[in-house]
Chain A
Amino acid sequence: MTDTTPETSGPNPSHSTTEMVRQSLARRNRKQVVLQGFGVAAIAFALSMLVILVGSLVTSGYPALTQTHVALEVFVDPEEVDPDNLPGGGYDEMLAASLGSYFPDVDMSDRASARTVTKILSNGAQLQLREQVIETPSLIGETITITVPAADNYDQLNKGLIQRATPEENRRLNDAEIARFDTLDAAGAISTPLNTALITSADSRFPELAGLKGAIIGSFWALLTCFLISFPIGIGAAIYLEEFAPKNRLSDIIEININNLAAVPSVVFGLLALAVFLGWFGMPRSAPLVGGMTLALMTLPTIIIATRAALKAVPPSIREAALGVGASKQQVVFHHVLPLAMPGILTGTIIGLAQALGETAPLLLIGMNAFITSAPTGPFDSATALPTQIFIWADSPERGFVSRTSAAILVLLTFLITMNAIAIYLRQKFERKW
Chain B
Amino acid sequence: MNDMRKIEREARMTDTKITARNVNVFYGETHAIKDVDVDIADKTVTAFIGPSGCGKSTFLRCLNRMNDTIDICQVTGDIRLDGTDINAASVDPVQLRAQIGMVFQKPNPFPKSIYDNVAYGPKIHGLARTKADMDEIVERSLRRGAIWDEVKDRLDQPGTGLSGGQQQRLCIARAVATEPEVLLMDEPCSALDPIATAQVEELIDELRQEYSVVIVTHSMQQAARVSQKTAFFHLGNLVEYNDTGLIFSNPNDERTESYITGRIG
Contacts and interface: CB of A to CB of B under 8 A. Distances in A.
Interface of A: 246-247, 315, 317-328, 331, 335-336, 340, 432-434
A374 to B, nearest CB: 50
B64 interface: yes
Which residue, of B71, B94, B109, has the highest number of chain A Cβ atoms within 10 A? B94
A326 B121 contact: yes
Interface in B67-105: 69, 71, 94-95, 97-98, 101-104
14 contacts: A317-B108, A320-B104, A320-B108, A321-B104, A321-B171, A324-B66, A324-B101, A324-B102, A324-B175, A325-B97, A325-B101, A327-B94, A336-B110, A432-B111
A321 B95 contact: no
Contacts of B97: 323-326
Contacts of B175: 324-325
B238 to A, nearest CB: 24
Given A318-B110, A325-B175, A328-B124, 10 more contacts: A246-B71, A317-B108, A319-B69, A321-B109, A323-B97, A325-B98, A325-B178, A326-B98, A327-B94, A434-B111
B16 interface: no
B40 to A, nearest CB: 18
Contacts of B124: 325-328, 331, 335
Interface of B: 64, 66, 69, 71, 94-95, 97-98, 101-104, 106, 108-111, 120-121, 124-125, 160, 171, 174-175, 177-178
Contacts of B111: 318, 340, 432-434
A326 B64 CA distance: 10
Contacts of A320: 66, 69, 102, 104, 108
Contact of B160 (A322, A336, A433): A433
A335 B120 CA distance: 10
Q: Which 3 A-B pairs have the closest CB atoms?
A: A325-B121, A326-B98, A317-B108
Contacts of B171: 321
B110 A324 contact: no
Contacts of A317: 104, 106, 108
Given A320-B66, A321-B171, A326 B110 contact: no
Contacts of B125: 326
Given A432-B111, A434-B111, A324 B64 contact: yes
B106 A325 contact: no
Nearest to A325: B121
Contacts of B66: 320, 323-324
Nearest to A246: B71
Given A247-B71, A433-B111, A326 B104 contact: no
Contact of A326 (B71, B95, B106): B95
Nearest to B68: A323
B81 to A, nearest CB: 14
A433 B102 CA distance: 23
Which residue, of B69, B98, B171, B175, has the highest number of chain A Cβ atoms within 10 A? B69
A416 B256 CA distance: 67
Contacts of B178: 325-326
B95 A322 contact: no
A322 to B, nearest CB: 7
Contact of A321 (B71, B110, B177): B110
B192 to A, nearest CB: 15
Contact of B108 (A318, A335, A432): A318
Contacts of A321: 104, 108-110, 171, 174
A327 B122 CA distance: 10
Contacts of A325: 97-98, 101, 120-121, 124, 174-175, 177-178
Contacts of A318: 108, 110-111
Contacts of A328: 94, 124
A319 B108 CA distance: 9
A434 B109 CA distance: 8
A344 to B, nearest CB: 14
B102 to A, nearest CB: 4
A87 to B, nearest CB: 65
B142 to A, nearest CB: 15
Contacts of A323: 66, 69, 97
A433 to B, nearest CB: 6
A248 to B, nearest CB: 10
Nearest to A247: B71
A326 B106 CA distance: 18
Contacts of A327: 94, 120-121, 124
B172 to A, nearest CB: 11
B51 to A, nearest CB: 23
Contacts of B120: 322, 325, 327, 335
A124 to B, nearest CB: 58
Contacts of A331: 124
A85 B221 CA distance: 103
A252 to B, nearest CB: 13
Nearest to A339: B111
B116 to A, nearest CB: 10
A160 to B, nearest CB: 60
B160 A434 contact: yes
A247 B69 CA distance: 12
Nearest to B117: A321
A16 to B, nearest CB: 38
Nearest to B104: A320
A340 B108 CA distance: 14
Contacts of B104: 317, 320-321, 324
